[in-house]
Amino acid sequence: MSALRLENYVFAQVENQFRLYEILPEGFAWHIDMDAEQITFYDPANREIALKCPVQLVGSKASEEQTFLWAWANAESNLPNAILEYVRKLKAVAEAEGAGEPFTNDWAFAPPHDKFEMEMSVLCAGVGGGFCPYACGYDGGVIYTVVEIAPKAKALPPDPLRTIRAITTAISALPFNHKEAVRAYLGDSDTDGVYRPLGIKIAFDDQGRIGEMSAVLEPPKKPASPLDALKRLWGG
């Protein structure tokens, strides 16, 4: 199976973006230190640092020319090798699978479609094993990055509503096989169409697209009886 499939990564990557946003202040700003291979998120109102994370570069888009350039092909910027590990791995995987262009383009090129940069960021994060993609917009365009790790965001407890939001966002933003993406992220459902342990019920239409989603409330657990402890102790 190809490693260059959005279905393998897209729901996890989008949900991790939501996790990241949950721990950042409202209206946060960013700064990338290329030499330190680090992205800093901060509150622009008081310059207080909210989070520092190791970062990888995917590529950049120039607003005026409407072209995309892979980070590994950006020779003029003399980027550190360590910040290009993920994108070079993506290129190597593409070459191994015979994907060729546009993965191997070493020049600034017009993206083949308007979702291209988003798709490549998800693939780069997935293939590299990063936490989530993050697009850094500025006056001249966009720098596409991957946040490598964000322990505080990763440590947030599971939330079915967050997962549903992530799935809804992903399917409205990118084209991919819904059923395969759900299976890659949540595994197989039970006979009622519920994905455990999160307790999310998903229904698909005749074409395999997600039609309905809902969080299923678990029935309250029966309070333990004092006799249960005695039975466990004495084997009764």
The pLDDT of residue 96 is 96
Is a pLDDT exceeding 70 seen at residue 224? no
Q: Please write the tens of the pLDDT for every residue from 170-193.
A: 999 999 999 999 999 999 999 888
pLDDT at 2: 93
3-state secondary structure of 164: helix
Residue written as token pair 């798709």: 119
Using pLDDT thresholds of 50, 70 and 90, give the confidence band for residue 231.
very low
* Cα(63)–Cα(176) distance, integer angstroms: 27
**Residue range 135-164: mean pLDDT, rounded:** 97
What is the pLDDT averaged over residues 113-137? Answer: 97
Mean pLDDT score, 129-154: 98
30-38 long-range CB contacts below 8 Å, 24 or more apart?
Answer: 30/134, 30/136, 32/136, 32/143, 32/145, 34/77, 34/79, 34/80, 34/83, 35/80, 37/80, 37/82, 37/83
pLDDT band at 219 (very low <50, low <70, confident <90, very high): low
When pLDDT is averaged across residues 231-235 and rounded to a whole number, the result is 47
Domain positions in the chain? 6-154, 180-215
